[in-house]
Amino acid sequence: MKVMYYIAILPPSTVREEIRVFKEEVRSRFQSQHALRSPAHITLQMPFHFEEMKETALIRALTALSATLTPAYCELKNFDHFGDRVIFVDVVPNPALTAYRKQLQEMLRTSFGFSDSKLPERFHPHITIANRDLTAEKFEPCMLVFKDRSYYRSFRMEGLALLKHRGDYWEVYREFPF
């Protein structure tokens, strides 16, 4: 049976909680709650279907990869958007984050046969606070709330996380320390 997974960097719990508060604000003020289905994260590998019976091999590969990576700092700064449906906390450009992603993509390509279409080159790290169910009519008022709001956090990236889809939400299934 195929299950959906994605691979991400998780900020520390204090930052995840602050971002959850932003998501709750979007839900209460603009009736957009889809972003609440997963914890605050920076996606390194977008959601993918994978045979659950091969999950152990994926976990072994992520464990081995993480052992080769070193911690680095990540900065979050203010808010931005993609089009008129996604609002996010922006991630300051970061060479370490880009390197983690490239190494992850190479492992997925060589170990599991991921195609280039599953491993896009385009990468704009961010942490989503509103998406999918944010209507076009509510996008602009929502963006006005966040566009001039200041937010800054710095944290040490210390591992990868494998998230598994559980029907209505994404579970942090395994973490892989560097």
pTM comes to 0.96
pLDDT of residue 24: 98
The encoded tokens of residue 18 equal: 């602050």
E strand or H helix at 29: helix 13-30
Residue in the structure block whose two tokens are 């091969």: 54
Confidence of residue 133 (pLDDT cuts 50, 70, 90): very high
Sequence-distant contacts of 101-107: CB under 8 A, at least 24 apart: 101/44, 101/45, 103/65, 103/68, 103/69, 104/7, 104/44, 104/45, 104/65, 104/160, 105/45, 107/61, 107/62, 107/65
Q: Domain range spanning residue 87?
A: 2-177
Q: How many folded domains does the chain comprise?
A: 1
Q: What is the CATH number of the domain that holds 90?
A: 3.90.1140.10
pLDDT of residue 79: 98
Residues 9-21: tens digit of each pLDDT: 999 999 999 999 9
The encoded tokens of residue 170 equal: 């994404």
Residues 48-60: tens digit of each pLDDT: 999 999 999 999 9
C-alpha 139/C-alpha 122 separation (Å) is: 24
